[in-house]
Amino acid sequence: MLLINPVGEKFGGFLSRYVPIGIPMGLGYLAGYLQARGVKVKIVDEELLAVNERTLSDLVQGLERPYIFGLSILTPRAGRAYQLIRMLKTLHPDCIVITGGNHPTSCPEESLLNGADIVVRGEGEEVLWNLYREIRGGGDLSRIHGITYRKKDGSISKNPDASLIRDIDEVPLFPFELFENPRYDKGCIVSSRGCPYRCNYCQIRMMTGTAYRVHSPERILAELDLLINKYGQKRIVFYDDNFCFQKKRVKQVAAAIIAAGLQKKCSFSLQTRADNFYSDIVPIMAEAGFKHVGFGMETGLDHLYKIINKGETVQQHIDAIALAHRHGMTTALFMIFGLPTETHEDREKIFNMCRSMHPKDIKFNNLIPYPGTPMYETLKGSSRMHIAEGWSNFNSTLSVTRSIFDKTPLPYVPETMSEFELKRDIMLYSLRAYFNWQTIASILGGSRKGAVWITLPRRWYLNPLEIFHVGRVAAALLMNLLIAWLPLKWTEPVMTCLNPNLKERQRVPNAPREVKIMGWADGAKSQLVIDRSEHPDRRSS
């Protein structure tokens, strides 16, 4: 089987040359699971190698026929994935194309309309293995849970949801050996799956319901040992959706790291909710080498927290960040601008508040109502939403990784602002967050660590080609900064002249400051709650 990570626009846009490439974790887990069961699997990641007629003929060498292709699709990459499916079906008409990942889970029929044969919804390991055996045995797909597929008579069948894997330790250790390319940033690990909260913009609930499943400390240690002692990683990021949800297990993981002495060789960073960053777990985390914490703070005003059903407050974030700093950890804040009803004044307040807390990094993204989320269900169809062909604009870094003159529409613009105002503010605040001599010096000196993605090659200043590329990126950033800095009343008319489509999403005078976003429906996956015992007080509005 060939597993493909389709990539239209490289991660990081015009900065991509200097953004480390993240391992496509989902595909890695699938490959590890199938390989352990004797299936021959290869992975191709388009971040590194484009799939075309020429490269494909090498990639399929040695694979069993008819070929089975598995594509992992994030929403902004759907267009590229559909292009690839057409190519695969033209070159190998008897092949079987399976899609999976976040986007096909939310829009399975769309994959089928674009030529895929079968869609795997949600977690993939067990379902893909069952599917593989059924396909190779010429069996009956109606028995496989967790798939949507086109039947021989052309109709579409949506089989019942599959259960989640109860004990995720059954998934083999992550196969890092499949990602030997030095351009990969191997410093990553997933120690738990899922997040039981109900934020209405986040897609995790669609994938894993409210379940929160953890790997055992022994398994986490085994993977850390591999990363540190075999691959020499000095800094490892826990990719968990919400690392600190269970206090007891955080303490166990930290204690296991200390007992193995791994904190002497490596530092760790994680992402968590502020209200789960408990004061009694932070000291042992600090001792275990957790040096950096990212908080999905998203906004900074309590009325906006209510709109996104975050179930947290501004004060909880202020307290959590101060707590991290007291224990010598640095912090990053991940923010969303462009929430329904938000205004420019709100953003100014939020930015100033973020800065006053002295995080190391602040990353501003625009709101993306991902399909499958209540945010999407509420806003879809409104004139303030715009879905570009192949969902290519559903990329949250669009505003900072493209030129300010780029005409791609943002996916959603609230009535309380114009499209250019939102884009400009994201750019302005992002650049203001980073535009200080300390940050610039650390990036240029190649010593930048933390959540910021830009990493320049060592001694780049001795290489004329790198000097050229760094110069180009710097010029683009400065141009963005300059235009974003000029008053909106000067720049907006010019931008609207250059791009008349901006007229469609102007600010609406007296736009309502109240809005009701739907909640998550309690579907089948919500029943799959595992070990809630540590959280009797968890909000589940």
| Site residues, ligand B12 (CB under 6 A) | 11, 22-27, 29-30, 70-72, 74-76, 98-103, 120, 123-125, 128, 190, 202-204, 207, 239, 241, 370, 395-397
- Least CB distance from residue 536 to ligand B12, whole Å? 25
Give the shortest CB-280-to-ligand B12 separation in angstroms.
26
Minimum gap (Å) between residue 286 Cβ and ligand B12 = 23
Tokens 């902004």 correspond to what residue?
Answer: 76
Q: First-to-last CA distance in the chain? A: 43
**Which amino acid, one-letter code, is at 185?**
D
Q: Of 188 and 284, which has the nearer Cβ to ligand B12? A: 188
Q: Which is nearer to ligand B12, 100 or 217 (CB)?
A: 100
For every residue of 87-105, DSSP letters joined together read HHHHH-TT-EEEEESHHHH
Shortest Å, Cβ 204 to ligand B12:
5
Q: Using an 8 Å Cβ cutoff, are 233 and 266 in contact?
A: yes
Closest CA to 122 of 140, 153, 143, 144: 144
Distances, alpha carbon 323 to alpha carbons 142, 209, 355, 357, in Å? 52, 30, 16, 11
Is the CB of 192 or the CB of 491 nearer to ligand B12? 192
- CB of 503 vs ligand B12, minimal distance in Å: 26
Q: How far is the CB of 194 from ligand B12 (least distance, A)?
A: 7
Strands (DSSP E) found in 258-346: 267-272, 290-298, 330-337
Taking the complex as a whole, how short is the minimal distance between the CB of residue 342 and ligand B12, in angstroms? 19
Nearer to ligand B12, 125 or 312 (CB): 125
Nearer to ligand B12, 28 or 284 (CB): 28
Residue 78 Cβ vs ligand B12, minimum distance, rounded to whole Å: 8
| Closest chain position to ligand B12 (CB) | 100
Nearer residue to ligand B12 within complex by CB, 114 or 396: 396
CB of 51 to ligand B12, least distance (A): 14
**Residues 183, 165: Cα–Cα separation, whole Å:** 32
Nearer to ligand B12, 74 or 257 (CB): 74
CA-nearest of 317, 319, 324 to 285 is: 324
Shortest distance, position 77 Cβ to ligand B12, whole Å = 7
Q: Which of 108, 100, 49, 46 is closest to 73 using CA atoms?
A: 100
* Closer residue to ligand B12 in complex, CB, 71/335: 71
Smallest distance, ligand B12 to C-beta of residue 195, A: 8
At closest approach, how far in Å is the CB of 326 from ligand B12? 27
Q: Which is nearer to ligand B12, 395 or 430 (CB)?
A: 395
Task: Report CA dihedral (150, 377, 529, 165) to the nearest 10 degrees.
Answer: 30
User: Using CA atoms, how far apart are residues 507 and 341, in angstroms rounded to an integer?
Assistant: 11
Say how far apart CA 266 and CA 260 lie, in whole Å: 12
The residue (of 208 and 267) whose beta carbon lies closer to ligand B12 is 208
In whole angstroms, what is the distance from residue 328 CA to residue 318 CA? 16
**Buried/exposed code over 221-254 (b: 16+ C-beta within 10 A; e: otherwise):** bebbebbbeeeebebbbbbbbbbbbbeebbbbbb
| Contacts for 398 with CB less than 8 Å, ≥ 6 apart | 13, 366, 406, 408, 410
| Nearer residue to ligand B12 within complex by CB, 284 or 367 | 367
Q: Which is nearer to ligand B12, 392 or 418 (CB)?
A: 392
Question: At closest approach, how far in Å is the CB of 47 from ligand B12?
Answer: 6
The distance of closest approach from Cβ of residue 398 to ligand B12 in the complex, given in angstroms and rounded to an integer, is 7
Residue whose CB is less far from ligand B12, 98 or 254: 98
Instruction: State the burial class of residue 328 (Cβ atoms within 10 Å of its Cβ: 0-12, 13-18, 19+).
Output: exposed
Q: How far apart are CA 264 and CA 289, in angstroms?
A: 8
Residues 6+ apart with CB under 8 A from 71: 3, 4, 5, 6, 81, 84, 85, 97, 98, 99, 100, 101, 116
Q: How many CB atoms lie within 10 A of CB 344?
A: 17
Residue 359, Cβ neighbours under 10 Å: how many?
A: 23
Compare residues 125 and 492 and give the one whose CB is closer to ligand B12: 125
Strand, coil or helix: what is 528? Answer: coil
* Cα–Cα dist 195/213, whole Å: 9
Contacts of 438 (CB under 8 A, 6+ apart): none
Q: Return d(Cα 245, Cα 535) in angstroms, integer.
A: 8
Closest CA to 432 of 363, 366, 513: 363
